[in-house]
Amino acid sequence: MTIQRRGNPKVPDANGIEKKIKRGNALRQASAWRVSRGSLLVVVVAMAVVGTLTWLYLASGDPYTTETLVRQAEVVAQTRVYTVDCSEDYENYKRYPGCTPQTCGRAVTDNSVTREEAMALRRLAERGLALAGSDGGASILDLHSGALSMGKQFVNIYRYFGEQITDVFSEEDFRLYREVRGRIQAVIAETFDLDPSLLYLTKPTFFSRINSTLAKTQHDEYWHPHIDKVTYGSFDYTSLLYLSDYGMDFTGGRFIFMDSNGNRTVEPRAGRVSFFSSGSENLHRVEQVSWGTRYAITVSFTCDPAHAISDPAMPITSV
């Protein structure tokens, strides 16, 4: 019988096992990378598709997309008028021939108030509002009534600060204010073919300062759509004189006319006067300010002499 010799059992090669493990790990990593790379590619493609669709939607001419009537960079040397049909609001009030709107619309001019005058009025507003100001994003200063935002309420700036007010305002401030108001009244009368002597300043007429601070009271919520003739029955014509520049001093804060077939927007420019008939034909709102500070003056006019107010004057102090 031949005896078959058995060799020693073969011991696994540790180095070979380690190589196989490494090779397996490498294959798994490569596979994972391919999966990850594939997933990333899908995400990138999806984002590109979404971006393209968004761009196409925004560029598609949706009827409610905002139309800019006047841009900040434009200079409107001659009054630009946009006529709209008058609403029935005026039928609910006594009519005043030569004043009550017969033709309604909105208009913009950069030729009634100079930029230098607007800057001087802005400095006036800054000095007055520096005395107090709202806790929220909207503060007002009314030189006629003396109303000044303070925290969550209002105070009378003339009574609250007394003789100190002469250190804040000057006779020149009030003279410029009256002169500018007169020019605004004149351009409104000319544009709407009114007798300027039958058009009266009315309340509220005030400076406004708006920034991006969160609203603390309803008085800070300036952005809601409204109709001036409905909110203030005395209003027949509303005007705004802008004292700062959209896109430079602030973003947001554009004035938006809300028409049935879309929005029409005016971009503020220092020295620009925007004015309009105050009825439902000019439903509007102010876009929320997202950055910076927006200054303006709302100057309001009525045809009803019973609602007329006088120009403000420097308080007389005791000697």
Q: What is the pLDDT of residues 22-50, one digit of tens each?
A: 555 554 455 544 544 555 454 444 455 43
Q: Please state, in angstroms and rounded to a whole number, the distance separating the CA atoms of residues 286 and 263.
A: 12
Q: Please state, in angstroms and rounded to a whole number, the distance separating the CA atoms of residues 150 and 63.
A: 42
Domain ranges in the chain are 24-53, 67-307
For the purposes of burial, counting CB atoms within 10 Å of the CB of 99, is it exposed (0-12), middle (13-18) or buried (19 or more)?
buried
The predicted pLDDT at position 149 comes to 98
- The residue count of the chain comes to 319
The predicted pLDDT at position 258 comes to 98
Q: Please state, in angstroms and rounded to a whole number, the distance separating the CA atoms of residues 271 and 295.
A: 11
The predicted pLDDT at position 59 comes to 40
The answer to whether 301 and 277 have CB atoms below 8 angstroms apart is no
- Residues assigned a catalytic role: 294
**Ranges of the chain with pLDDT below 70:** 1-65, 317-319
The answer to whether 262 and 64 have CB atoms below 8 angstroms apart is yes
The predicted pLDDT at position 316 comes to 76
User: What's this model's pTM, rounded to 2 decimal places?
Assistant: 0.80
Please, what CATH class does the domain formed by 67-307 belong to? mainly beta
Q: Which residue has the tokens 């006629």?
A: 144
The predicted pLDDT at position 315 comes to 86
The answer to whether 262 and 67 have CB atoms below 8 angstroms apart is yes
